[in-house]
Amino acid sequence: METKEVVSRPKKRIFIALVSVAIFVAALVCYGLWQIMRPGLAEISTVLPKILGMVIIVLIVGLSAGVVGIVLAILGIPTLHFFYRWAWHVINFLFHPATFIGGMVHIPKEIIEQSFIAVNNHLVLKQHIKVPAERILILTPHCIQKDTCVFKVTRNINNCHQCGGCGVGSLLGLSHKYGLHVVISTGGTLARQAVRQARPKAIVAVACENDLTSGIQDVFPLPVLGVLNERPNGPCFNTRADMTKVEDAIRTFLINPDSYEDKNDKSNH
């Protein structure tokens, strides 16, 4: 019997709040260390405490600027492109401290990961990244294939017979339609190898919260749009993907997505 798993709409403010707290804690820790080190540094040179203090201030201000960039992007307030890119760096840098703090206040890790993915996707979209279709990679775990299928596609997706029993056929259809790469991986190591071999400039990844967050950080600063999979049979078994969301993510990266529709229309006549 299938158990329906409902993934709620992720709230970006959860991760933003945790990142803000992480920066505040980092500022307190740095200030405490500065106070401890100041007498010893002053004995060496009266300038050293000031230099260390300035370094700490620059670090905290830089991280805070990244959070400001995230907030501005979410609010839709026009700002410099630099802020989007810097915010993108900050959320990846502070993910683990934010997760640790979230655990201390009993926020489920899955909720934090969903919020992180939502923030990441928003920032990637705001950068308006455009690349050729052949430099886009679709990456998904092998659990998207039906477990009873005898045609294994982890080495070559073209082994799929497109019977419609799982999402692999739809992914192969998108590959043919847009001329992009699709890799179905059995694990993180093979996924990283696939990225190195394909050398994409943008990735559309379909996976669970944990795999998406780790994957986004593994390939950082390569832009990734994450699509959470659907798990009606539980985790890592006969999972599904909303192909509308996957195709929307692909078209977001394409230089001229409408031209592919024109080509398909002409080929059908």
pLDDT of residue 10: 59
Residue 228 has φ and ψ, to the nearest 5°, of: -70, 135
CA proximity to 217, closest of 138, 72, 112, 116: 116
Q: Where are the beta strands (DSSP E) in the chain?
A: 136-141, 181-185, 202-207, 224-228
pLDDT of residue 102: 94
- pTM for the complete prediction? 0.84
Distances in Å between the alpha carbon of 118 and those of 59, 109, 228, 236?
A: 25, 14, 10, 21
pLDDT of residue 268: 52
In degrees, rounded to 5, the angle at the alpha carbon of residue 197 between the alpha carbons of residues 191 and 202 is 75
Chain segment 93-142, per-residue pLDDT in tens: 889 999 999 999 999 999 999 999 999 998 888 888 999 999 999 999 88
Q: Which class is 133-268 in CATH? A: alpha beta
Amino acid at 246: V
pLDDT of residue 5: 44
pLDDT of residue 147: 86
Contact 198, 181 (CB under 8 A): yes
Question: Is residue 58 exposed (0-12), middle (13-18) or buried (19+ Cβ within 10 Å)?
Answer: exposed
pLDDT of residue 9: 58
Q: Which 8-state DSSP code applies to residue 134?
A: G
Identify the three-state secondary structure at position 141: strand
Q: For residues 225 and 125, what is the distance between their CA atoms, to the nearest angstrom?
A: 8
Q: Where in the chain is the domain with CATH 3.40.50?
A: 133-268
Report, as ranges of residue numbers, the positions in the chain whose pLDDT lies below 70: 1-10, 261-269
Question: Is residue 189 exposed (0-12), middle (13-18) or buried (19+ Cβ within 10 Å)?
Answer: exposed
Residue indicated by tokens 């802020």: 83
Q: For residues 44 and 205, what is the distance between their CA atoms, to the nearest angstrom?
A: 52
Contact 144, 239 (CB under 8 A): yes
For the stretch 102-107, contacts whose Cβ atoms lie closer than 8 Å and that sit 24 or more positions apart, written own/partner, are 102/14, 102/18, 107/14, 107/18
Structure tokens at 95: 């993910």
pLDDT of residue 257: 81
Distances in Å between the alpha carbon of 26 and those of 52, 57, 64, 104?
A: 15, 11, 11, 16
Residue indicated by tokens 């993510």: 249
Who's near 208: CB < 8 A, 6+ residues apart?
Answer: 141, 228, 229, 231, 235, 236, 239
* Alpha-carbon dihedral sign for residues 17, 23, 28, 29: positive
pLDDT of residue 264: 58
| Residue count (the chain) | 269
